[in-house]
Every structure is written in C-alpha cells, then in structure tokens.
Structure 1
Amino acid sequence: MKENLKLGLILLIITSIAGLCLGEAYSITREPIEKQAIMANIDALKETLP
C-alpha cells in the first residue's frame, strides 16, 4: 500500500511538471500561430476577391 502511494505521488509530480511545460510552450507559441492563421485568412481572401 505504501509503495503504491509513493508511485502515485511520483506520477503526479511527473504529470504536473509535464503539464506546466505544455502550458508554457502554448503561451510561447500562441501568438505566432494566431498571426499565421490571420495571414492565411488574408491570403485566401486576396485570392477569391478582386
């Protein structure tokens, strides 16, 4: 029982660290991805509208 609890806490720590890393990566890449989506939309409008 004690070993299961220890393993559970280790997994919780690992997943928490992974979640924080993913959150930080998202916050860094969010703005460039939004800019690229806007540019793609503008390019599509330029192709369809005169």
Structure 2
Amino acid sequence: MAARTLHWRPHEFWAATPAELAAALGLLAPGSAQPGLDRAALQRLMEHDHDR
C-alpha cells in the first residue's frame, strides 16, 4: 500500500515509524497523534502477562 500510494521504496517504508506511515496515509489529523505508552501503563500490562 505504501509503495503504491506513497511511492515509497522498501527502505523508506521500513525506516518510517507507525505514526509517520499513518500521517503520510492521511489516517491522522494534524495534532491528533495518540500519546505513547507510559511506564505505568506498561507495568500494568506486564502484570497481566503470564508469560513475561
């Protein structure tokens, strides 16, 4: 999809972050990026993961 829509070469695709890809595809409105996962949220997820 990125190759066809954005004319990105493979190395450009793999170098992009998910947020950059979403923005380039117009999936995010300017300034609407979601905040990242903070340490407390990661800890809560790890506590519920039985495989740690």
Q: Same fold (TM over 0.5)?
A: no
Find the structure with the greater CA-based Rg: 1
TM-score when scaled to structure 1?
A: 0.28
Whichever structure has more helix as a proportion of its residues is: 1
